[in-house]
């Protein structure tokens, strides 16, 4: 039986990107409003392209998770705007 580390590594990537994204959304929104949403979407597309072009399955998975998290952070910028309205 071979030990599979991919699940643990990808869980760590997921946890780290969601945690970092949560902090970034709050700080970026406080400083720049909704303007960072477009760069989040653009960076998400670039990282997704890297996931598609990667020959390594583990790296591709990490890029894919990061891309989806960045996309969701772009969406959350707008949701944060709604939450901050009185």
CA–CA–CA angle 68, 43, 71 (5° rounding) = 30
Express each pLDDT in 25-77 by its tens digit.
999 999 999 999 999 999 999 999 999 999 999 999 999 999 999 999 999 99
**Closest by alpha carbon to 73, among 50, 41, 27?**
41
According to the model, what pLDDT value does residue 67 have? 98
Express each pLDDT in 13-34 by its tens digit.
999 999 999 999 999 999 999 9
Cβ contact 28:77 at 8 Å: yes
Whether the per-residue pLDDT at 86 is higher than 80: the answer is no
């Amino acid at each position: 039986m071979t030990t599979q580390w991919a699940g643990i590594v990808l869980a760590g990537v997921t946890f780290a990107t969601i945690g970092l994204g949560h902090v970034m959304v709050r700080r970026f929104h406080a400083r720049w409003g909704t303007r960072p949403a477009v760069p989040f979407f653009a960076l998400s597309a670039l990282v997704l392209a890297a996931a598609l072009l990667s020959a390594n399955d583990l790296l591709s998975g990490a890029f894919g998770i990061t891309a989806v998290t960045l996309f969701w952070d772009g969406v959350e910028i707008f949701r944060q705007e709604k939450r901050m309205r009185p």
